[in-house]
C-alpha cells in the first residue's frame, strides 16, 4: 500500500496495521520516498497528477507542506530513498 506517514497523526493507524500483521507473522517493510520542495513543485505540473488524484496545483501543495509533517515510519527497517532525478523504475528496483 502507499501512504504518506505524518507523525503523530498517523502513528496509531500504522501501529494498528502492524498489530494485525503481527498476528499473521507478517511485518511492515516501510519505504520512505522523499524529494525536495522544488521537485514537488515541478511534479505537480505532470499531466497525470490530476488523473491519479495527486496534488496538482500550487495552493494544495502549499497547504500539504504546511499542514503535514511527513516523516519516515519510525522503525529501524524503514528504507529511506530520494526519488529526485531517479526514474520510477529505478526506484522500484532499489526497493526490491
Nearest to 82 by CA among 31, 6, 41, 22: 31
Structure confidence at residue 51 (pLDDT): 86
Structure confidence at residue 53 (pLDDT): 85
Per-residue pLDDT of the chain (96 residues; tens, 9 = 90+): 788 888 888 999 999 999 999 999 998 899 999 999 999 999 988 888 888 888 889 999 999 888 888 889 889 999 999 999 999 999 999 998
Q: How far apart, in whole angstroms, are the C-alpha atoms of residue 32 and residue 55?
A: 18
Q: How far apart, in whole angstroms, are the C-alpha atoms of residue 86 and residue 95?
A: 13
Q: How far apart, in whole angstroms, are the C-alpha atoms of residue 58 and residue 47?
A: 14
Cα–Cα separations (whole angstroms), residue 13 to 10, 27, 70, 75: 5, 15, 15, 14
pTM for the full model? 0.78
Amino acid at each position: 500500500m502507499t501512504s504518506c506517514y505524518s507523525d503523530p497523526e498517523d502513528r496509531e493507524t500504522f501501529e494498528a496495521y502492524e498489530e494485525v500483521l503481527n498476528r499473521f507473522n507478517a511485518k511492515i517493510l516501510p519505504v520512505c520516498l522523499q524529494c525536495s520542495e522544488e521537485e514537488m513543485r515541478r511534479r505537480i505540473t505532470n499531466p497525470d497528477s490530476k488523473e491519479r488524484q495527486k496534488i496538482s496545483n500550487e495552493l494544495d501543495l502549499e497547504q500539504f507542506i504546511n499542514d503535514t509533517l511527513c516523516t519516515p515510519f519510525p522503525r529501524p527497517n524503514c528504507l529511506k530513498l530520494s526519488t529526485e532525478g531517479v526514474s520510477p523504475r529505478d526506484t522500484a528496483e532499489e526497493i526490491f
